[in-house]
Amino acid sequence: MSNQSTTFLAIGDVHGQWYCVIDAISEATDIFGHTPDLVLQVGDAEALRNEADLATVHVPAEYRSQRERFRSLEPTELMSG
């Protein structure tokens, strides 16, 4: 039997703040000493591409925000760590 453990990272309700996900993975990597074996994004993701997508989200006006939603993530940003 192996002594190697499997690490999981669960992230909920991203609400379009994808750089927070990258930061959480980076922080978990620092804690574990390696990247998590599995990352689960649970809850609201809101993968909005543009203003037209934002207009389709049915939430109160105070929760509508572009934040970093419209910036493309480069593959190197997702795979680093």
Q: Going residue by residue through the chain, which has 81 residues, state the pLDDT in tens, using 9 for 90 and above.
A: 566 889 999 998 887 788 888 899 999 999 999 999 999 999 888 777 777 877 787 777 776 665 554 455 555 555 554
CA-to-CA dists, residue 43 to 1, 15, 23, 46, 74, angstroms: 35, 9, 18, 9, 23
Whether residue 71 lies inside any domain: the answer is yes
Instruction: Please report the pLDDT score of residue 65 as a whole number.
Output: 66
Whether residue 62 lies inside any domain: the answer is yes
Domain boundaries, position 57 = 8-79
CA dist., res. 66 & res. 35, Å (int) = 29
Give this prediction's pTM: 0.64
Whether residue 58 lies inside any domain: the answer is yes
Whether residue 1 lies inside any domain: the answer is no
What total number of domains does the chain contain? 1
CA-to-CA dists, residue 51 to 8, 16, 17, 45, angstroms: 33, 13, 15, 16
Whether residue 2 lies inside any domain: the answer is no
CA dist., res. 7 & res. 66, Å (int) = 32
- Bridge partners of 41, per DSSP, are 11
